[in-house]
Amino acid sequence: MPHDLLQRRLVVVTGKGGVGKSTVAAALGVLAARAGRRAVLAEVGRRGDVLDTLVPPVAPVGDAEGPGDPDGFVETAVPVPGGAPGALFHVSVSPEAALREYLRDQLPIAGIADLLGSGKLFTGLTAATPGLRELLAMGKVWELAQPDRRTPGATPYDLCVMDAPASGHAVTVLGAPAQFARTARVGPIARQGTIISGTLEDPAQTGVVVVTTAEELPVTEALELQDALAERAGVRVVLGVVNGVLPDRFSAAERDALGAGAPHDPAIAVADAHARRAHGQALQLARLRRGFRAPVITLPAAPGRRLGPDDVALLADRLEQGLRRVAAAPSSPTTPEAS
């Protein structure tokens, strides 16, 4: 397998809103399945149905009492475009279902657990306890990444790819277990918070990937995010992915010539606009590489408005190439690879 990213049990994908986190998470899941692994994409803070488009569901896993419990988490098998020796699954992680599952696990009488985890009580409990929603979501993702899962009857995964919320919220989610461990100090919450934060802070088990586009604000946010994740959540970013990169085809002289011709010719105006955007992206990519401590790889902008499984397969190819280059580069983690 190229690069050791997917050898970990948990890969967390975050970055600014809308930069392609879900797309990159799906492509990483495809790569893992191609490498023969049983992988699950865990979508947290679901926003829209983008993953349903990228990895259309096939069938829920397990029976009504097991991981396929309609009241709990539905782990769905998804097809890997082009086929794969491994397997890919998808699960949407809501704090509500995480609380119900947690209480059922902790309390001897299922009825009481369901009552405590139901609508009004859940809302009251989470409103009164800042960070609880995040802790519950993170706890479930951690469970999905364990070789011995707590969920009765559940088959373990080799890898969990977490499609995490955007930057600031991701810092809160990833930092929640350590925060609860600190504030609770003793008891089951402190114990479990310590175990989960131990997994997140161990670079051999967890890798955080920051996705950005090659534009000024997303790059600034990516640079700030690597520090915030380290300082406030104790986790290390292992890879930067710059998504939607246009080919930078023109030299400075050619750009000048295009600019001079643009007002007179619509075709040249289109080429001029493309050249300017691509050049702007190249500058932002260079800026990211200067400030980012992890290796950075790029993914092309796919043609068309709405991505589908074939586009994800193509992006997975490009990710694989990028990861191979990172693996082959001299060992310094800051060494930029040639893209």
Name the residues that contact ligand ATP, by CB under 6 A.
17-23, 47, 50, 166, 243-244, 299, 301-302, 306-307, 315
Pick between residue 124 and residue 308 the one whose CB is nearest to Mg ion: 308
20-59 footprint of Mg ion as x/- string (CB under 5 A): -xx-------------------------------------
Residue 299 interaction partner, one of ligand ATP, Mg ion, none, beta carbon < 5-8 Å per kind: ligand ATP
What whole-number distance in Å separates Cα of residue 270 and Cα of residue 283? 20
Size of the site for Mg ion (CB under 5 A): 2
| Alpha-helical regions (H) of 145-187 | 167-184
Give backbone dihedrals phi and psi of 4, rounded to 5 degrees, phi first: -95, 10
What whole-number distance in Å separates Cα of residue 88 and Cα of residue 79? 7
* Pick from 32, 77, 73: nearest CA to 57: 77
Least distance CB 192 / ligand ATP (angstroms): 27
Q: Which two tokens stand for residue 89?
A: 């699954």
Q: Count CB-CB contacts under 10 A for residue 231.
A: 10
* Pick from 50, 91, 51: nearest CA to 72: 91
- Segment contacting Mg ion (CB under 5 A): 19-27, 56-64, 130-138, 234-242? 19-27
Q: Count CB-CB contacts under 10 A for residue 106.
A: 11
Least distance CB 249 / ligand ATP (angstroms): 18
Residue 301 interaction partner, one of ligand ATP, Mg ion, none, beta carbon < 5-8 Å per kind: ligand ATP
What whole-number distance in Å separates Cα of residue 295 and Cα of residue 182? 32
Q: Kindly state whether residue 284 participates in binding Mg ion, applying the rule CB under 5 A.
A: no
Residue 229 interaction partner, one of Mg ion, ligand ATP, none, beta carbon < 5-8 Å per kind: none
Pick between residue 50 and residue 162 the one whose CB is nearest to ligand ATP: 50
- Binding region for Mg ion (CB under 5 A): 21-22
